[in-house]
Structure 1
Amino acid sequence: MTTVVLLRHGRTQANSTGVLAGRSSGVGLDAAGEEQARQAATRLAGAPLAAVVSSPLLRCRRTAAAVVAEHDGLDVRTDPGLIECGYGDWTGRTLSELAKEPLWQTVQNQPSAVRFPGGESMVEMAARAVRTIRDTDARIAAEHGDDAVWVAVSHGDVIKAILADALGVHLDSFQRILVDPASISVVRYTETRPYVACTNTVAGDLTGLLTPPPRRSRRGRRGGGSPTADAPVGGGLGAHGR
């Protein structure tokens, strides 16, 4: 039961001024974003991290660097599968201007039908992001065991698409999910299904969510209980009820 920490990059000047940065190069964190990244890193300082994987864009690499600074022996590995959605001709324009475009309402209400002019479709973005997370998760589980905890640093729409997949909802519902700058969401992947442990958290202790669950017998049961990857009937004890 590997655990993936989905961390959005900290705030950028583009965020604060309402500009769609997209894949623009050189967009780093502003002062508030640097502090947000440090706070997120502090929240993860006690977690037994096996890896930190980042979008190749600067704002994510700076956020990831704050995380690895709290962990000896870790470095940041970049993966293009976690890069921001390709917004094409929308890149660099203000959100207030884009809201007047006819495509804006489709983005809001039926993102699965959207292809950004000169860019990527949201379906393509979601597919490569989910594939990257699941493939990386399988590799880390093979290398570090099923109790491995790792961090993926990415972008708002990308993380929303990953969470929508983990929640089993259609991409057209992903605009109902909030992912704030430097927020942390946690997903556990099992052979049965993903479990979404939390979303969009910006404060609080993560120890209980990132502590591996107790081992069960080789037959997958403990005291006649449910198999390891099964959802507990009635809700179970929760992360703090061990």
Structure 2
Amino acid sequence: MATVVLVRHGRTTANASGTLAGRTPGVRLDDTGLGQAARTGERLAAVPLAAVVTSPLERCRQTAREIITRQPVELKAHAERALTECDYGEWQGRSLRELAKEPLWKVVQQQPSAAAFPGGESMAAMQARSVAAVRRLDAAMEAQHGPDVVWVAVSHGDIIKSVLADALGMHLDLFQRISVDPASVSIIRYTATRPHVLATNTHAGDLGWLAAKPRRRRRASGDAVVGGGAGPG
């Protein structure tokens, strides 16, 4: 059972100014975001990662670099286009305060499965391509490195929220109930039976337990442990 660590990029200049950056080139981490990314890299330093896959946008590549430089072995981040930010079309580059006045804003909040950004993509299409990419990459990691492999995907808030919603069996219309903050860590372990969501939106704490091998009985079957079990091996 491979384990994917979903990391959102650190805070950016656009986040700080309340602007919807989207796929705008040149949006980078601010000083706070660099510090957040560094702390996330430190949290993951005790976990031997097989790979770091990232959205091709600058803010994610910067965050991935902070993770890689703290790994005990040399890694190179690999860009994956399917993990890039939602295409917000004509909304891109506008202030969130201004966008909140648009009729589409309520649809995005209350029925995102019906939301399609003018000149961009729908939120349903965003979820479909990001979930497919994470599941495909996860299967490839396990096939190449074995069932105890841990890998990182660095992406964006709405992308990670949509992947978590899928793993939790939630309809996309409920995904706004999930919070994914800058540089936060969420963790999913996919099995043949179902995904297991191990953590969401964490900001601090030791992640060394990810380096421990899962208990063999659970790993072999993918079943949930009745009563909760004894935790990581």
Aligned: 1:51 with 2:47:
no
Residue number in structure 1 paired with 2:187: 186
Residue number in structure 2 paired with 1:229: 222
Aligned: 1:130 with 2:141:
no
Contact 2:9 2:63 in 1 (8 A): yes
**Partner SS for 2:143:** helix
Letter in 2 for 1:105: K
Q: Percent identity?
A: 60
Q: Could you list the per-position Cα deviations for residues 12-56 of structure 1 after superposition, in whole angstroms to 9, with x for gaps in the alignment? A: 010011000000001010000001000000000010100000000
Mapping for residues 140-159 of structure 1, pairs under 5 Å = 140-159=141-160
Letter in 1 for 2:152: V
Q: Could you list the per-position Cα deviations for residues 173-192 of structure 1 after superposition, in whole angstroms to 9, with x for gaps in the alignment? A: 00000000000000001111
Residue number in structure 2 paired with 1:20: 20
Q: Within 1, Cα distance between the matches of 2:19 and 2:51?
A: 31
Q: Within 2, Cα distance between the matches of 1:158 and 1:16?
A: 19
Contact 2:7 2:155 in 1 (8 A): yes
Q: Within 1, Cα distance between the matches of 2:32 and 2:211?
A: 26
Residue number in structure 2 paired with 1:224: none
Contact 2:52 2:154 in 1 (8 A): yes
Residues 1:210 and 1:168: Cα distance change in structure 2 (over 3 Å):
farther
Structure 1 residue 215 displacement after superposition: 2.7
Contact 2:47 2:210 in 1 (8 A): no
Q: TM-score, normalised by structure 1?
A: 0.93
Residue number in structure 2 paired with 1:160: 161
Structure 1 residue 210 displacement after superposition: 4.6
Larger Rg: 1
Contact 1:10 1:59 in 2 (8 A): yes
Structure 1 residue 208 displacement after superposition: 2.0
Q: Root-mean-square deviation (CA), in Å?
A: 1.2
Letter in 2 for 1:151: V
Q: TM-score, normalised by structure 2?
A: 0.97
Q: Within 2, Cα distance between the matches of 1:14 and 1:211?
A: 38
Unpaired segments of 5 or more residues in structure 2? none
Unpaired segments of 5 or more residues in structure 1? 222-226
Aligned length: 232
Mapping for residues 8-87 of structure 1, pairs under 5 Å = 8-71=8-71, 72-87=73-88
Residue number in structure 2 paired with 1:117: 118
> Which stretches of structure 1, 4 residues or more, deviate above 6 A after TM superposition?
none
